[in-house]
Amino acid sequence: MNIRDFKTSSKAESLDVLCVAVEAVRAQVEWSHQLPSPEDTQAALSGCLNSRTGQWRKTAPPARCSAASLLWRTVKWHMSGGSLWGLPHELMLDRSEEHVRVETLAMVLAQMLGGSSAMAAWERALGAR
């Protein structure tokens, strides 16, 4: 399933579905401390959803919404072929706690939506699979 195919009737419904799914993952894993707080998760996801339709935005949120913008671009990278040019530069240059948490959230979302094709491509290229 592509993130663009994720459909609900409203932004609030989409946000609730995604937040519940992330919280279910948080309850099951040992590394839950690497995810953003539930409030930060909701804020970042909210910025990535279209206000009218509740679907994933077609364009990145404005840069002033830093967590949402970074999450949108990181999920986009995970759903792509894995070109390093598409990887958000903040993730390579600034390994702050916020960026690590947003990156972890993006990986969780990618796995919930069928897996990260970018990670799979890199694993094949590096002979990890």
Q: State the average pLDDT over residues 12-34.
A: 90
45 backbone φψ class: left, alpha, beta (φ>0; ψ -120 to 50): alpha
Q: How many CB atoms lie within 10 A of CB 91?
A: 17
Q: Given a cut of 60, is residue 113 above it in pLDDT?
A: yes
pTM as predicted: 0.82
| Per-residue pLDDT tens over the stretch 42-89 | 999 999 999 988 888 999 998 888 899 999 999 988 888 888 777 777
Q: State the average pLDDT over residues 121-126.
A: 84
What is the b/e burial string over 56-83, where b = at least 16 CB atoms within 10 angstroms of the residue's CB?
bbeebbeeebbbbbbbbbbbbbbbeebe
